[in-house]
Chain A
Amino acid sequence: MPDDRLPSDDLADQVADDVVDGPADDPVADVHEPDDGPQDARSDEAVDAHLPTDAVATPVVPSDETPGDLGDDHVDAGDALVVPAVAPVDDAVRTAPAEDASEAGRTVGTPEDGTDDTLVGPDDDEPAEGTAQPASLAPAPTRTGWRALGHAMAPRATRAQLGAGVLCALLGFAVVVQVRQNDETALAGLRQSELVRILDETTERSDELRREVTELRTERDALDSGSDGQAAALDSLRRSAIMQGILSGRLPAEGPGVQVTLIDPAGDLQPVTMLNLLEELRNAGAEAIQLGDHRITASSSFTGTKGHVLVDGVPLRTPYVWLAIGDPSTLSIALQIPGGAMATVRRAGATGTVSERDLVQVTATRVLLDPRYATPVQDEE
Chain B
Amino acid sequence: MIAVIGLVVGVVAGLALQPTVPAELQPYLPIAVVAALDAIFGGVRAMLDGIFDDRVFLISFLSNVIVAALIVFLGDQLGVGSQLSTAVVVVLGIRIFSNAASIRRHLFKA
Contact = CB atoms under 8 A, between A and B. Distances in A.
Contacts of A45: none
Contact of B55 (A63, A73, A108, A181): A63
B110 A163 contact: no
Contacts, number: 227
B7 A107 contact: no
- Most chain B CB within a 10 A radius of its CB, from A146, A149, A158, A163: A163
Interface string B2-33: 11111111110111001111010011011011
Given A102-B63, A174-B32, A175-B11, A121 B105 contact: yes
A56 B2 contact: no
Most chain A CB within a 10 A radius of its CB, from B37, B49, B82: B49
A118 interface: yes
Given A59-B52, A162-B2, A107 B81 contact: no
Decide if the interface of chain B is mainly helix, strand, loop or mixed: helix
Could you say which of B6, B23, B42, B64 has the most chain A C-beta atoms within 10 Å of its C-beta?
A: B6
A85 B26 contact: no
Interface in A145-173: 145-146, 148-149, 152-173
Contacts of B76: 191
A172 B9 contact: yes
Contact of B59 (A97, A141, A142): A97
A233 B67 CA distance: 82
A52 B5 CA distance: 25
B3 A164 contact: yes
Contacts of A60: 47, 52-54
A167 B57 contact: yes
A164 B57 contact: yes
Contacts of B13: 169, 172-173, 176
Contacts of A155: 1-2, 5
Interface of B: 1-11, 13-15, 18-21, 23, 26-27, 29-30, 32-33, 35-40, 42-43, 45-61, 63-64, 67, 76, 81-82, 95, 98-99, 101-102, 105-110
Interface of A: 55-56, 59-60, 62-63, 73, 76-77, 80, 82, 85-86, 89, 93, 97-98, 100-102, 104-109, 117-118, 121, 124-125, 128, 138, 141-142, 144-146, 148-149, 152-178, 180-182, 188-189, 191, 193-194
Given A156-B2, A168-B6, 20 more contacts: A56-B50, A59-B51, A60-B47, A77-B50, A82-B51, A85-B49, A97-B55, A101-B59, A105-B42, A105-B67, A106-B60, A108-B42, A144-B106, A145-B106, A149-B107, A160-B53, A162-B2, A165-B5, A167-B39, A191-B81
